[in-house]
Structures are given as C-alpha cells and as structure tokens.
C-alpha cells in the first residue's frame, strides 16, 4: 500500500469538505440580533392609599371588641393595644375586620388598627376607652 496516495486522498477529502461547509453555510460573517420587546412599564402614579376607620370600641370590662372598615380587601391588619403606663402590644388580625382583645378592667386603653399591602403601612385614627388620652 502506498501511504502517499492514502494521505493525498485524505487531504483531498478534507479540502472538499471545507469547501462544502463554506459554500453551504452561505451566511454572512456579520452578527445579527433579534429585537427584544421592552419590559412593561410600571403602573403610573403613586399607589392608592388605603383608608382605615376604627369604630368606637365596645368595652365589656375585661374584654374590648374592636371593629374597623377599610377601602381595600387585599391588606392584612394588626391591632395596636396601648394600655396606659405599659408597653404597647400588637395583635395580628390577618384579614379580619373585628377582634376581641383581653384587657385589664381597671386600666385605660388606646387602640389603633394598622394595615399593610406589603409595600406600605396605613393607620387608623386611634380610639380610646375609659378616658385614656391617645398619642401617636
């Protein structure tokens, strides 16, 4: 067997294959891009404020029933219980609009409802029982 004939044949096959790739590729050497659609614009304007109204508390001695209304159905609530002379505490009310809380029947209290839509916190005007003076 003659090695020079075999090597020559292989070189010829490689040259033909390379020519076919260039000929059939037919594409331009320039890079092309596809136009992308821009992302949607964020909603215009500021978020709509949620209004909260805490009704007058119903004092039952050792319990107080609180009720409130809201301009939104998609917020979560917390009730702030502020006993006079003691630290405030927060009670999560989730999406309820009424909550009964335990209180000391001899102490004055202020209450506030807070709501959140995960972006902002909204507050009601405070309500008091037993002559408490409420401060923010």
**For residue 78, what is the domain's CATH number?**
2.60.40.10
Question: What is the end-to-end Cα distance of the chain in Å, rounded?
Answer: 103
Determine, yes or no, domain membership for 10: no
CA angle 63, 127, 49 (to 5 degrees): 120
Share of the chain above pLDDT 90, in %: 62
Question: Which ranges constitute the DSSP H helices of 26-136?
Answer: none
- Tell me the torsion sign for CA atoms 81, 87, 91, 92: positive
Per-residue pLDDT, 86:
94
What pTM, to 2 d.p., does this model score?
Answer: 0.66
d(CA 88, CA 134): 12
State the residue range of the domain holding 75. 52-129
Determine, yes or no, domain membership for 47: no
Q: What is the mean pLDDT of the chain?
A: 83
Per-residue pLDDT, 9:
59
Q: Give me the number of domains the chain comprises.
A: 1
Closest CA to 129 of 71, 77, 69, 54: 54
d(CA 53, CA 129): 16
Determine, yes or no, domain membership for 104: yes
């Amino acid at each position: 067997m003659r090695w020079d004939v075999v090597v020559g044949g292989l070189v010829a096959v490689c040259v033909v294959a390379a020519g076919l790739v260039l000929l059939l590729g037919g594409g331009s050497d320039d890079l092309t891009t596809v136009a992308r659609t821009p992302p949607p614009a964020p909603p215009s304007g500021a978020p709509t404020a949620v209004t909260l109204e805490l009704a007058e508390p119903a004092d039952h001695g050792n319990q107080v029933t609180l009720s409130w209304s809201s301009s939104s159905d998609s917020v979560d609530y917390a009730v702030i219980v502020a006993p006079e002379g003691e630290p405030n505490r927060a009670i999560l009310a989730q999406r309820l609009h009424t909550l009964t809380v335990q209180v000391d029947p001899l102490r004055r209290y202020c209450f506030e409802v807070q709501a959140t839509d995960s972006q902002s916190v909204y507050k009601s005007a405070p309500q008091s029982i037993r002559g408490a003076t409420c401060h923010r």
